[in-house]
Structure 1
Amino acid sequence: MEAAENSGHPRRWLILGVLVVSLLVVVLDNTVLNVAMKVIADPHAGLGASQSQLEWAINAYTLVFAGLLFSFGILGDRFGRRRALFLGLAVFGLASLASAYAQSAGALIGARALMGIGGAAVLPATLSIISNVFDPRERARAIGIWAGAVGLAVAIGPILGGFLLEHFWWGSVFLINVPIVAVGLVAIATLVPESKDPKPGRIDVVGVLLSIAGLVSLVYGIVSGGDHGDWGKPTVWGSIALGAAILVGFVLYERRSDHPSLDVRLFRDPRFSAAVVATGLMFFAAMGTFFFSVFYIQNVRGFSPLTAGLLMLPFAAAQVVFAPRSSRLVARFGAKLVCTVGLALVAVSLGGFTLLGVDTPIWVLEVLFFVQGVGMANVAAPTTEAIMSVLPREKAGVGSAIGNTIRQVGGALGVAVLGSVLSQVYRGDITPHLARVPAPYRDAAAESLPATYGVAGRFGDAGRALVGPANDAFVHAMHTAAAGSGIVAVLGALVVLVWLPGRRVAQHRRQHVPAQRVADRVAETAGAREE
């Protein structure tokens, strides 16, 4: 079997470069926007957006993106993955242009929602094309590079955003996407082969609509709860409950359908189910950490947005170096051991955040970011490969969509839940110190660290006296949230340790793949080359 001809596309590594660029521009955008929030809120330098409008500038993208990922994965399999990638990237570029020149906060929110539609088409298409142009023996390495690009984008987004904001107007953080998208579209049309499910059957309209409704309702409840810090509101828990109920209905419907968009029997495979759960738990922990670390670096430690972005470079370096090499570790030690150790490293790094103080040497934070990056690099790539390896190539879009959807839902839930924990602990610690602040300002001052700073600036010496207690309160709140993140990462490690098959089981399964399935894959790739 090892001596068999490589069934990958002859230009597969060049195609991978195009896919990585397409992926980078989509993932970069959300992290860049976080840096620009303060400027967009400025009535003179920005749009004068309110706090609620700023939240929806982020949430509109997340809501549409997460809600449509699964559907676009299905549509890409049916109508063509290159077509989905091209159209998605084109929509993303046009929406970026609209965002850059938005004249009001409402227009920006609408453009961001349109960007979510484009991004939802791009992300699953990149991974499903990888599965179709690479031989299974090289796929793990290619997915490692893909996963490293995701981590790199998360880390360098704040750097790029900080640089642009220091030299140009706020719209530049969106306008930078346009020339990259233009080059990407030419490269896709020139280099990327078309691929699709040769026998798609009837489209599962009811299943697609149920998945969209369930995911949108679930994510809406999650982000609303995180924004308001109040999970007891009927609109929050009601939306989450409704979304969960619809998704349960979706699963029940898919079990009975003779043409399901998602074969729920996949979850009986421990490789698939354990990888999905571990991915969700890891991104829950990681995205929550990135959320509070931004405030720690910029507010407590006083670094500029650009410097804050540069401080994320150890995480980016770890992703770039270790994600592509994770496949070698998996081949030698097995996915179970590699992923367990990776999640343990993530848990250790998150535990390290509980030791950070107001004056802790900054190199300690750099070490924690690096360790977290190493851990995530050795989890994201192997779990993604585990998910994709369970499905045949013609269903690659569905596998990609499932993995990316769980990332988005897990990350949104992490930011919302851990952000709420952070907010509640901070409010409890800072409230006793606000006695000297006039009553009308107390509630606003207790909302967050930046809000306390804003109120403190109004009251001279009395206001300046709040800065120290505010920093201490935030650090304590950060410790609590970090501890929660670490516990979630440990749970992920336990899931992998208990349910992900060991090395011997995985090797046995690979050695007993039916010969016809291998022949079919070679034939599919040959057809793609002819196109």
Structure 2
Amino acid sequence: MTRTRTLGTLAVVVGFLAFVEFTSGVLQGYYTPMLTDIARHLGVHDADVNWLEGTQLMLSALVVPAFAKLGDMVGHKRMLLISTAVTGAAALVLPFTDSFGVFLAAWALMGFYVVWLPLEIALIWSRSRRMEGRSSITAKAAGLLVAALEGGAIIGALVGGALIDVLPLTVVLLVPAVLIVVCFFVILLGVKESPEPAGGVFDTVGLVLISLALVCFTGGLSLLRLEGGLENPWSWGVVVLGVLLVVPFVLWELRCEDPLIDVRMFRSPALGPVFLTAGLFGVSVLGAQAPLSTFARTDPAVYGYGLGTSGFATSLIIGVYLVAMITGALLFPSFARWITPRLTLMGASVLVGLGFLLFLPFHDTYTQVIANMVVVGLGSGALVAALPAAAASAAPASQTGVATGLTNSVKTVGGAIASCVFGIALLHGVATTAGATEGTAGSLAGYFTVWIVCGATALAAAVILVFVPKTAFTDRAADAEVVPAL
């Protein structure tokens, strides 16, 4: 009876958190159909909209490690509330400004929502600490949360596209802000704090060092994407400086008694491959989104390749992909229980790799692209759910928030690198493409590069996971945690 009551309480918490992830999905899908309208409203070129994505990615890479650590220290619900409040305040600024600088700053601050999923997984893991089948419970919860996330993205894209055609932009931009405010009170009233926060002293020096490293690295990648960036030694210098700044950060963390990120986790036979897999997965799940969309919109009558789809037909491809992700996320706990989480991670990585490599021979018709994206989506959905759950189950008890947050941070860095590489690859050779000397489409060779890199990195992740201990991410591994003597 006690176990049933406890599971029931946890199920209620997961239900409230699913609403939070639904809101996160809405934010990720809602604005996409109206980016051109936003550019016209702000009086900027369409290309300047790319800075919105760049600044938000940069901020999210900084926010996740800090908030994940603070969640372990002072409570995951508390940091979830703070991040939601910041996201909501930023969203309320967007409808009432026509300044690109103010809009850009508010848009970047909305990137605080990226910490929601890691904090939620850590909260569920901590709340299920004394339950039997803890890893399985966390895996099921992660699958439900990701399903809610992708469902929100689908609904957000459909509603955003419908509203922008009939309502003023100011009113349309208010809708997600109101939803975030509701989300704040759902967390406040419906979610209980994680038990036994770890406490400790916040590692401010570590945060400053890793922030400088990430700002330099992602900023350098943004400079490389600008015209002439590849030939500019300063762009490369900023990237290299960002990499070199990781060295003093690691040295400091190794000496710090209560580090922001316990870098020793990267040496763990279970956690190290998970973090590396997250980075390789970020290449496809974050870096390949724009190239897939632009390939579908490219007119084959003009450029000799592409699908020439309309905006609505392109959104259907995205919708099918997201439905496949939901399916993969929901199937993940069943397969993890059947063949172990480790083999499920490997299988999901293989699906992602296979789906992208299928683009090489099969990319000429709408049906072929849909079929490829279903394969990619099934694997991607499973990985989105599996990676934070696997990190939580393999991490020390006081580092669950940090571990789940690191999967998101490393994934973001992988996506930022891929975004830069893919942008350069698609730009290279455009002028020599038949019939495209004056066009704006990417080169076919560039698209082949995108598919090959995404497929190869996903298969590389599957190979890396071969070396993970067979019992990793299971309750047997979690039960083997060393409990310090009192």
- TM-score range normalised by the length of the shorter chain: 0.7 to 0.9
Aligned with 2:18 (options 17, 20, 27) = 20
The verdict on how the C-alpha distance between 1:428 and 1:11 changes in structure 2, with shifts beyond 3 A counting, is farther
- Residue 438 of structure 1 corresponds to none
- Residue 425 of structure 2 corresponds to 421
- The 1-side partners of 2:406 and 2:83 are apart by 18
For the pair 1:334 / 2:340, whether they are aligned, the reply is yes
Note the alpha carbon deviations across 1:432-471, whole angstroms, 9 max, x for none.
753xxxxxxxxxx45x32xxxxxxxxxxxxxxxxxxxxxx
- The 2-side partners of 1:123 and 1:154 are apart by 14
For the pair 1:130 / 2:124, whether they are aligned, the reply is yes
1:123 Cα deviation (Å)? Answer: 4.3
- Structure 1 contact 298–308 (Cα < 8 Å) conserved: yes
User: Which letter maps to 2:468?
Assistant: L
Superposition map of 1:58-97 within 5 A: 58-97=53-92
Aligned with 2:318 (options 291, 312, 323) = 312
1:503 Cα deviation (Å)? Answer: 4.4
Structure 1's unaligned 5+ residue stretches are: 435-444, 450-472, 521-531
For the pair 1:484 / 2:439, whether they are aligned, the reply is no
TM-score normalised according to structure 2 size: 0.88
- The 2-side partners of 1:189 and 1:413 are apart by 37
- Structure 1 contact 197–394 (Cα < 8 Å) conserved: no
- Residue 146 of structure 2 corresponds to 147
- Residue 268 of structure 1 corresponds to 267
- Residue 373 of structure 1 corresponds to 377
- Structure 1 contact 74–261 (Cα < 8 Å) conserved: yes
Structure 2's unaligned 5+ residue stretches are: 300-306
- The 2-side partners of 1:182 and 1:171 are apart by 17
Rg: which structure is higher? 1
- The 1-side partners of 2:330 and 2:127 are apart by 17
1:9 Cα deviation (Å)? Answer: 6.2
User: Which letter maps to 1:345?
Assistant: L
The verdict on how the C-alpha distance between 1:292 and 1:504 changes in structure 2, with shifts beyond 3 A counting, is closer
Note the alpha carbon deviations across 1:107-162, whole angstroms, 9 max, x for none.
2112112222x325534322322222334241111122223344445555543432
User: Percent of aligned positions with the same letter in both sequences?
Assistant: 23
TM-score normalised according to structure 1 size: 0.81
- The 1-side partners of 2:105 and 2:346 are apart by 41
- The 2-side partners of 1:354 and 1:48 are apart by 39
- Residue 407 of structure 2 corresponds to 403
Secondary structure of 2:387's match? Answer: helix
1:4 Cα deviation (Å)? Answer: 9.9
- The 1-side partners of 2:345 and 2:114 are apart by 27
- Structure 1 contact 350–486 (Cα < 8 Å) conserved: yes
For the pair 1:500 / 2:476, whether they are aligned, the reply is no
Secondary structure of 2:186's match? Answer: helix
The verdict on how the C-alpha distance between 1:75 and 1:227 changes in structure 2, with shifts beyond 3 A counting, is farther
Superposition map of 1:5-404 within 5 A: 5=3, 10-42=8-40, 46-51=41-46, 53-116=48-111, 118-134=112-128, 135=131, 136=134, 137-153=136-152, 157-171=156-170, 174-195=173-194, 198-228=197-227, 230-300=229-299, 301-357=307-363, 360-404=364-408
- The 2-side partners of 1:105 and 1:19 are apart by 33
- Structure 1 contact 297–303 (Cα < 8 Å) conserved: yes
- Structure 1 contact 291–419 (Cα < 8 Å) conserved: no
- Residue 509 of structure 1 corresponds to 477
- Structure 1 contact 288–418 (Cα < 8 Å) conserved: yes
User: Which letter maps to 2:141?
Assistant: A
The verdict on how the C-alpha distance between 1:188 and 1:55 changes in structure 2, with shifts beyond 3 A counting, is same
Note the alpha carbon deviations across 1:370-426, whole angstroms, 9 max, x for none.
111111223332332221112244432212221111121122222221122111133
The verdict on how the C-alpha distance between 1:433 and 1:510 changes in structure 2, with shifts beyond 3 A counting, is closer
The verdict on how the C-alpha distance between 1:277 and 1:174 changes in structure 2, with shifts beyond 3 A counting, is farther
Secondary structure of 1:231's match? Answer: coil
- The 1-side partners of 2:81 and 2:472 are apart by 41
User: Which letter maps to 1:210?
Assistant: L
CA RMSD of aligned residues (A): 2.9
The verdict on how the C-alpha distance between 1:202 and 1:286 changes in structure 2, with shifts beyond 3 A counting, is closer
- The 1-side partners of 2:171 and 2:269 are apart by 45
The verdict on how the C-alpha distance between 1:396 and 1:172 changes in structure 2, with shifts beyond 3 A counting, is farther
- The 2-side partners of 1:321 and 1:387 are apart by 21
The verdict on how the C-alpha distance between 1:312 and 1:177 changes in structure 2, with shifts beyond 3 A counting, is same
- The 2-side partners of 1:36 and 1:313 are apart by 17
